[in-house]
Structure 1
Amino acid sequence: MNVNEQQEYLIQKYNVPAPRYTSYPTVPYWDKEIPAAAQWMDVVKYTFAESNAAKGISLYIHLPFCEVLCTYCGCNTRITKNHSVEEGYIQAILAEWGLYLQQFSEKPIIRELHLGGGTPTFFKPENLRKLLEGIYEGAILHPEKEFSFEGHPNNTTTAHLETLYDLGFRRVSFGIQDFDPKVQITINRIQPYENVKHVTDEARRIGYDSVNFDLIYGLPYQTLQSVSETIDKVAELMPDRIAFYSYAHVPWVKPGQRSYSDKDLPDNAEKRALYELGLEKFKALGYTDIGMDHFALPQDALYKAWEQKELHRNFMGYTTFQTDLLIGLGTSSISDAKYGYMQNLKKVETYKEAVLNGELAILKGHFLTQEDLRLKEAILEIACRSELYLDLGLLSMLNDEAIDQLKEMQKEGIIELENHRLTVTPVGKAFTRNICMVFDLRLRQAAPYEQQVFSKAI
């Protein structure tokens, strides 16, 4: 079997539904029972007492509103052009934050904060200030804080950038996806290159340390030429980091994706070729492949964290620092209190009703067993450091099928196994999600049909 045949074989074999591993267990395999608010808060208080002084905490704030539906999007959004929704939603977030502040024995030290969406820049700059100053009022900001937000190139104004910079933000991520006009029209994400250039230049002029571009491969009507041209345009702006995501086609979850069909999408081999093209061009530009879908330039903090083996992964994706407590505020946000997870209600109205009545808006949750904690650690090691020490305790959790899978991956050149150490090879980087799956006991125990909740690995 030659190199091309081997590559095609691996793509066919491993292009299966796979989690993105921002948690373990992944959300579909959490406990079926909804946790009691008191039980969840007990875990939060315990984790806070353990880690606030040493590490600080992280905050994720979900701002779900968008003026236009981007049909490729898998996020929890609310489409509206009615900006009067801003103030009521801010009131709800601050009420929810107040519920947590009541539980803390001291002021929280905020180490990381991320505004996600939706479109955070849907909100007026003055309303973002009102929200964030309300959050800061009951907290201490860490001297080495990392604050970031997601901005839409079409509506992120200089006032947005200046306001958030003034509030401590130094990282911004712009959702680019693709510059090809036909692709943009199909996914309903029309944003001219000039808009992207302007907002990137403004962010750098103001003083932002890091600009990220989100790109997606596998979108309808993408070709090698169109993706190559998109990356050439990206190269003119040289963002500090790039997220190059595999398009997740899940029309059974996101009906907006039904505006195009499977025949409009690149097939498995074509999609893989798009990834390989991106990988080659990013490396030629000086970016390093630091983990699942992410590339960074040497001056970026994400690269430095990867180089120093301090990279971490949670519900915000890759982060440069590990905090044990992540509080998610807003609809559908997920909190991670080290020993447990909790997700908020997804509908804006029911979320607001709960928190404004002084109650947590709990949709679901999970409390980790000792086995969960060990497997979570193992999966994070693979995802963040591309290596894992296979101690006897960990090996005892794996059945014969999992052990055989590791041996098979070794023969295929995806991993190396030596002296109880697993190392992901350069070839294996693209199959990181598949390697993590070997250690996902809850997924392995699930019925095959249940695994369809995930997008394809490649």
Structure 2
Amino acid sequence: MRAVSPELLRQLDVSGPRYTSYPTADRFVEASALDNHVRALEQRRAGTAVMGLPLSLYVHIPFCASLCYFCACNKIITNNPARAELYLRYLGREVDLYVARVGAGQAVSQLHLGGGTPTYFSDDALRSLMAMLRRSFDLAPGGEYSIEVDPRTVDEARLAVLAGMGFNRLSFGIQDFDPAVQKAVHRIQGTEQVFSLVQAARDLGFKSINVDLIYGLPQQTPDSFDRTLAQVALLRPDRIALYAYAHLPERFKPQRRIAIAELPPANAKLGMFSNALAIFEEAGYVYVGMDHFALPDDALAVAKRQGRLHRNFQGYSTQPDCDLVGLGVSAIGRIGAIYSQNAKTLDDYYDHLNQGRLPVERGLALSRDDLLRRTVIMALMCQGTLQFEPIEQAYLIDFRSYFAQELEALRPRVEQGLVTISDTGIDVTASGWFFVRAIAMVFDRYLQADRSRAQFSKII
């Protein structure tokens, strides 16, 4: 990062997709979404080779007890536990519909509970959810079973309960330790409490502990964020996710409570990112890519060293690319070459299930060009290298002819020292790894066609 000039940081401070999928979810349409999804499930059940491959499960739990002003997630603020109990029953209906389509006992190697606040559910509700999933699917030994945790909703005893349920990975939402920033975003939590919880999680044997941080929040300054970074370095979680705050109040109503005047200017945000890279590098973290850091012996860092990184809707993953079943309101999944997204409101989600159908409302059937470009983008995003010959053999194309415009568009990135292009492939340089989204964007046909990037976060 020391070799990256401030001028280059400013030039590439642009908006763009995170590429947890390609095409990105904003390209999903309603037409034939449910029919395509059902057909993909039937094809999975009929394909004996595919049946042997494990699934990944994502369960969206939308409820939160209080509102965080920065939040862009699909959430419901409530203190009525009956709403969570009703939601759990409907999750059961959705699971039953999946089992009817693909059969019981499908192997699962990855499970993630996200939100909202998954730990909004009571211990009994979480136990019921996990029991339901275990009845319907086969959670493989050694799989990755993770849950997002709001530190304000748990204590050491609750962490022990989560471990007893089979969760082996935790992600704590910290965002910032500074009291002024916490007040400005309506998320106040004590530093000592977080340190105590992380130590308890280690004592309980959780395999990996992640913390989420956000830079660019109101009241943040480079100096104040440096103090948070120093505390995180002392906390020493196995993984760190460092996100840039995207202020889009026209899309996300909670952000309208944030005063624009309290947001740090662009140069201050760039300083925070640059300082974070330096501090985490000094603390011994491996820069996995984009906004992810991991200790050298963490599975994510090992996967990067071995060229086994993947991306799915939860970000970088060590799990091989596999079918993903999304459960719950607004959840996104992928079966084969079909993307799907559930209804975004509880009323619509419940209405679909009341009528005995899967609650899919939007999706996309990937074309041959989509599949080709997804392969290219994911190779760049995950491995930082792309060899032409395997792509040409798999898709029966001449890479240089098919992507002539894209290769020409990469020339400025070559001149900036971010990529190299040879006769055999494309390689992202050490400096280019910090801007890999900008490199991948060149191959995004949809993005290049309409240049509509206002809905995406900044890449730095």
2:274 to 273, 276, 285: 276
Question: Quick check: 1:37–1:360 contact (8 Å CA) kept in 2?
Answer: yes
How much does 1:37 deviate?
A: 2.6
Deviation at 1:11, TM superposition (A): 2.8
Residue 20 (structure 2) aligns with: 22
Q: Secondary structure at the residue paired with 1:221? A: coil
- Answer whether contact 1:47 1:325 (CA < 8 A) is retained: no
Matches within 5 A, 1:41-440: 41-47=38-44, 49=47, 53-105=51-103, 107-391=105-389, 393=397, 394-400=399-405, 402-440=406-444
Q: Partner letter of residue 176 of structure 2? A: D
SS of aligned partner of 2:410: helix
Q: Distance in 2 between matches of 1:88 and 1:454?
A: 33
Aligned to 2:218, the other structure's residue is in SS state coil
Q: 1:395 to 1:35 in 2, by over 3 A?
A: farther
RMSD (Å), alpha carbons: 1.8
CA gap 1:44/1:238 in 2 versus in 1, 3 angstroms: same
User: Structure 1 residues 50, 254: closer, same or farther in 2, change over 3 A?
Assistant: farther
Superposed displacement of residue 423, structure 1? 1.6
Moved over 6 A (4+): none
The 10-residue stretch of structure 1 (36-45 or 266-275) with the greater mean CA deviation from structure 2: 36-45
Q: Percent identity?
A: 38
Q: How far apart are the structure 2 equivalents of 1:107 and 1:180?
A: 46
* Gap runs ≥5 in structure 1: none
Greater shift after overlay, 98-107 or 293-302?
Answer: 98-107
Which residue of the partner structure matches residue 38 of structure 1? Answer: 35
Q: Deviations over 1:262-287 (max 9, x none)?
A: 43222222211111100010011110
TM-score (norm 2): 0.94
Change (3 A) 1:296 1:258: same
Deviations 1:160-201 (A, max 9, x none): 322221222110000111111111111111111012112112
Q: Pick which of 46-55 and 408-417 moved more.
A: 46-55
In structure 2, do the counterparts of structure 1 residues 47 and 437 end up closer, same or farther at CA, with 3 Å as the change threshold?
Answer: farther
Q: Residue type matched to 1:426 in 2?
A: A
Q: Is the 8 A contact 1:415 1:424 kept in 2?
A: yes
> In 1, Cα distance between the equivalents of 2:207 and 2:271?
32
| 3-state SS of 2:105 partner | coil
Q: Secondary structure at the match of 1:69?
A: coil
Counterpart CA distance in 2 for 1:50 and 1:252 is 47
Amino acid at match of 2:32: P
| 1:313-345 deviation per Cα after TM superposition (whole angstroms, max 9, x unaligned) | 011111111242100000110011130100011
Number of aligned residues: 451
Is there any run of 5+ residues in structure 2 with no aligned partner, and where? none
CA distance in 1, matches of 2:34, 2:257: 40
After superposition, the Cα gap between the structure-2 partners of 1:441 and 1:36, relative to the gap in structure 1 and judged at 3 Å, is closer
Q: Is the 8 A contact 1:335 1:342 kept in 2?
A: yes
1:15-67: CA deviations, max 9, x gaps? Answer: 2220110100011223x343253331111232453665543000000000001
C-alpha distance in 2 between matches for 1:111 and 1:22 = 19
The alpha-carbon deviation at position 395 of structure 1 amounts to 3.5
C-alpha separation between the residues in 1 aligned to 2:457 and 2:48? 36
- Aligned partners of 1:295 and 1:285: how far apart in 2? 11
Check the 8 A contact 1:124/1:160 in 2, yes or no: no
**Is contact 1:11-1:268 (8 Å) kept?**
no
Q: Secondary structure at the match of 1:452?
A: coil
After TM superposition, give the deviation of residue 10 of structure 1 in Å: 2.3
Name the aligned partner's letter for residue 406 of structure 1: L
Q: Distance in 2 between matches of 1:360 and 1:54?
A: 23
The structure-2 alpha-carbon separation of the partners of 1:278 and 1:50, relative to structure 1 and needing over 3 Å to count, comes to farther
* CA–CA distance in structure 1, aligned partners of residues 343 and 273 of structure 2: 35
Q: Deviations over 1:213-234 (max 9, x none)?
A: 1011111222121111101111
1:138 and 1:33, CA in 2 relative to 1: closer, same or farther beyond 3 A?
A: closer
